[in-house]
Amino acid sequence: MAKVPIETKASYLRDAVFAANDGIITTFAVVAGAAGASFSVSIVIILGFANLLADGFSMASGNYLGTKSEIEYEKIRGNKVDRQGSPLAQGIVTFVTFNLAGILPLLPYVSGANYKFEVSAIIVAFALFTVGAIRGIFIGKSIIKTGIEMLLVGGFAAFVAFITGGILKKYVL
């Protein structure tokens, strides 16, 4: 089995961190916006899974096309392309990671848990911190700092979605 170069591993790490972060944040943003608008559980589940699959595919296909474009651009310019990671593999890493991480905010809704939104928020906070901490391990920085950084960024996005849902509820519903 061929050894995978560090550049390829770093590329997959970038894809996985980006996809996990986006999967958690965008799915929870849908959940938070729906909670802010006081939507029913069934609507939250429908919107959450629609976002999860569509956005996961969108990110994966964007990563695939972007990576493929980068390789083609380098070839046109006459540069040697020394890459073992394929555009398809990077797209798959993005899709799988996005969906595995992105399903977390929906778990309380599909499991019938009490206090669904609150439990979802706790799961999301833990997941964001964990992804940030794992990032810190790989890049040699403080896992506390990188965990808190990702938690704050994701938390802000959720806050914006929740407030937006509450405000729009007054004008749309």
pLDDT for res 147: 95
- Both tokens assigned to 62: 């964007």
Q: What is the DSSP letter of 103?
A: T
Of 92, 104, 91, nearest to 27 by C-alpha is: 104
For 110, list phi and psi in degrees, rounded to 5: -85, -20
> Taking the CB of residue 27, how many other CB atoms lie within 10 A of it?
27
Q: What is the DSSP letter of 106?
A: G
- Put residue 163 in one of left, alpha, beta given phi > 0 → left and psi -120 to 50 → alpha: alpha
Cβ distance 131 to 17 under 8 Å? yes
- What is d(CA 53, CA 50) in angstroms, rounded to the nearest whole number? 6
Tell me the average confidence (pLDDT) per consecutive run of 10 residues in the chain, 173 residues long.
Answer: 69 87 93 91 95 96 92 84 80 96 96 94 95 89 95 90 88 78
CA atoms 13, 160, 60, 103: torsion sign: positive
pLDDT for res 108: 97
pLDDT for res 71: 86
The pTM assigned to this predicted structure is 0.85
- What is d(CA 78, CA 15) in angstroms, rounded to the nearest whole number? 26
Q: What is the DSSP letter of 86?
A: -
Cβ neighbourhood burial of 119 (10 Å; 0-12, 13-18, 19+): middle
- Both tokens assigned to 125: 């906070």
- What is d(CA 114, CA 116) in angstroms, rounded to the nearest whole number? 5
pLDDT for res 173: 66
Q: What is the DSSP letter of 105?
A: G
pLDDT for res 25: 92
pLDDT for res 5: 67
